[in-house]
Chain A
């Protein structure tokens, strides 16, 4: 197998307590995964699962406490700031809220020209203008949008500009952090379709971060599920959706709103407390919410074991019943 584009190895990030005497927040604990050339990896979990922290570590918005982020064999995690700046265009981010990601005093054209020039500092004006027009058409806008300012655009149009800015520098990989979560479903569908088209035509490699498996299903080739900063399952999207191995993945799937399917009461995690990093103790972090919890789960931290080809899951149930691989628990 060829070397993955991006290798994340035992990534760790702990935030200092907000208050004196508080306990530090372990946002990401020993997370490892690969991002392969040309694939879309869905990174899924609830608020507090550490998914955004991972994305932010990848673009140096946070400095990880441990672990490696290897891009072409170079460790971005330990790269000094200056050296990272020169590599910055390699990894680009699309943010959740396009309104706050765009400079309100910069026209769409200027925002994109800036990115285009960053990519080709020696290109002439004509070349930049030509690329700008091509870029706008690529994301489904018209050349006249170049003179608009962010406040003159709808939420969906602003997100298109956010995407255009990210791809303008021809990055090696894109990180989309809840890129469609703040949008109406109708606009969400437009942006998902756009990302799919761009991925096809440009062969983009993308880490797609979202709390909604219903959306991830449309874009991801593989899916990684995080729970309280740990990876609990990773595998091909088809397997994850057809036969989710981890009880948490099963709960996430059951929560997807579907117009044709009534709310499945039995499958909902009906625990108002939600994820609690302190409740777990030394055992599986999901144990306090897990419908299949056993004594064992509260003692030992489960580790990722293979349940099918290219598909691993961190759950004691998976270790005990190797013969039940691929089945739904």
Chain B
């Protein structure tokens, strides 16, 4: 464990730290476990985010990435049992464990200091309320500014997220806007109170690629200007390269690889990360598409997880007698990176 501490001391937003890092990240998730009855969907999860940085959490459907964000937001129902810690440093410096907050304090923090943007803005917005009223509602739920001040702030935020003709959009209903525009409204709503942390769960997955590029650009600009931390959840490594500083790759409820995004994308250590990269459309320098190398099979059900390494049934590098017996742990590999694979050294050489 000493080596992990050593890794954490280079003061990067290392998703792989042991205990509260010396630099005190904005959000430090430690040993997070989420279970529904006897079914463990997330286990031993650990990552951290520093202010002003972007952590991408990547994985396929069923890897546990969305449920992790819901746990951090305090939005999981009582049917889920959550263990571990999610330490969040508040504006006033107080460090709170998001998993142990009372519902009231959790609600007060949500929207104010931590906000979330969801994949499908049409279901996240209230279809029968005008955009302006929904934006103003955020402010009125946290403190009670005057009507005029709240409205002015709503207008300012719509302008910030690049909505043309914001005055008239205040009176629009969600269905009157395009998908991209609705997602901009969601982002405006999330940033009304300038939260220190924004969690974006697949915010561009339902959008056209052109609009996706616009939203990514917008999020990046806003993050810089507001200095907020961003947790970006996606299944697409292509997007990770475009937005993230750090990346945590999740598989079947665990982090299998983590580190600075550029380094992980350039030289992935885990066979699953390699598989995801092989699945992403890419071109070489001359513009010729690189052949797709899909990962066979699908994410295992958390009800019947495979023994040993959870990826071994789909892994081309799996060794019988080893990978199907021993469960790997996330171990540091140097340069603020970590991997959870029994054979990563052999594979690398």
Contact = CB atoms under 8 A, between A and B. Distances in A.
Interface string A112-156: 000000000000000000000000000000000000000000111
Contacts of A213: 209
A262 B181 CA distance: 24
A261 B278 contact: no
Contacts of B164: 272-273
A279 to B, nearest CB: 11
B257 to A, nearest CB: 14
A187 B60 contact: yes
B210 A184 contact: no
B4 interface: no
B60 A252 contact: no
Given A46-B211, A272-B214, A259 B184 contact: no
25 contacts: A46-B208, A47-B208, A157-B298, A186-B276, A186-B294, A187-B60, A189-B279, A192-B292, A193-B294, A211-B208, A212-B281, A214-B281, A217-B281, A241-B283, A251-B210, A257-B239, A258-B282, A258-B283, A259-B237, A259-B265, A260-B282, A262-B242, A268-B214, A272-B163, A272-B164
B220 interface: yes
Interface of B: 60-61, 161-164, 178-181, 184, 208-214, 216-217, 220, 235-243, 265-266, 275-283, 287, 289, 292-296, 298
B172 to A, nearest CB: 13
Given A255-B210, A260-B265, A242 B282 contact: no
Given A184-B60, A188-B279, A217-B283, A263 B220 contact: yes
Given A186-B295, A211-B209, A265-B217, A272 B181 contact: yes
A209 to B, nearest CB: 13
A47 B179 contact: yes
Contacts of A157: 298
A257 B265 CA distance: 13
- From B238, B277, B295, residue with most partner A Cβ within 10 Å: B238
A185 B241 contact: no
Given A189-B278, A258-B283, A259-B237, 18 more contacts: A184-B60, A185-B236, A186-B60, A186-B235, A187-B294, A192-B294, A212-B209, A217-B289, A255-B212, A256-B281, A258-B280, A259-B277, A260-B265, A261-B241, A261-B242, A262-B241, A272-B164, A274-B211
A259 B238 contact: yes
Given A186-B295, A270-B217, A272-B181, A263 B242 contact: yes
Contacts of A274: 178, 180-181, 211
Contacts of B210: 46, 211, 251-252, 255, 268-269
A271 B210 CA distance: 10
A254 B292 contact: no
A241 B288 CA distance: 9
A187 B281 contact: no
A310 to B, nearest CB: 19
A185 B237 contact: yes
Contacts of B209: 211-214, 252, 255-257
A256 B275 CA distance: 19
Nearest to B281: A214
Interface of A: 46-47, 154-157, 184-190, 192-193, 211-215, 217-218, 241-242, 251-252, 254-263, 265, 268-274
Contacts of B293: 189
A206 B218 CA distance: 36
A154 B164 CA distance: 41
B214 A257 contact: no
Contact of A254 (B213, B287, B294): B213
Contacts of B283: 217, 241, 258
Contacts of A260: 241, 265-266, 282
A267 B300 CA distance: 40
A309 B44 CA distance: 59
- From B162, B277, B289, B298, residue with most partner A Cβ within 10 Å: B298
Contacts of A268: 210, 213-214, 217
A53 to B, nearest CB: 16
A187 B63 CA distance: 14
Contacts of A262: 241-242
A272 B238 CA distance: 22
A196 B13 CA distance: 41
Nearest to A45: B208
A254 B216 CA distance: 13
Contacts of B280: 185, 189, 257-259
- From A211, A258, A262, residue with most partner B Cβ within 10 Å: A258
